[in-house]
Structure 1
């Protein structure tokens, strides 16, 4: 059984997936789930009324994302280096957050705060993006 199958079986056994009706095997992690070691995840963040996505590969950062989705209060602002031109998992935008740089921080400077559309329009004056009002709204295992 590969990591993807293990993740889906484990999530299903815990009652924590929702299969999409598109005919694809998409699985969204719902509250109450725990991460599967060795599996990468796409984390969706809502910032005011906009959404952006980040590929998360670090186990500690993945655990923090799950904790936030499950309602745990953390002093955690998502922070990462912006890479323009290749959106990767960040569908709908022309940029992505470099997975190797992504983490949750407690202190961020104001110059990296804003909306995803501010990043799109190059209004963020930092090379990092750190939206203070970001909320984890979905976590999806990478297939």
Structure 2
């Protein structure tokens, strides 16, 4: 029953859902929102990025939404080059763990935790077979 209580609390807490474009310096452009305690990205950056520089820029852009001392949480597909949604095939950057970690560090974060999980995804759904989970804390402003 705890999940029902958490769900109700979350629904009371969320005020608005905003469109987000991680390729923009202000992902919520034209809106300006105050920095958050935590920003979560799930399977977003690797599919929105055509190459490593675009991925690093996306991490910086998302990181700009996190307040000093706050956290960035990324769930990412590692090692894949495509995924399918129904009959549609979409490409993604073939991301290695070290690429993601370095991008997060360069964006001004310390990695608190990084884990991977291997799974058997049918090749008809996606080419990646590993999921990465990363939690990072933004450097404290002096």
Band of TM-score, shorter chain: under 0.3
Please report the TM-score for the alignment, with normalisation by the length of structure 1. Answer: 0.25
Please report the TM-score for the alignment, with normalisation by the length of structure 2. Answer: 0.25
Whose Rg is larger? 2
Greater relative contact order: 1 or 2 (C-alpha under 8 angstroms, separation 6 or more)? Answer: 1
| Bigger fraction of residues in helix | 2
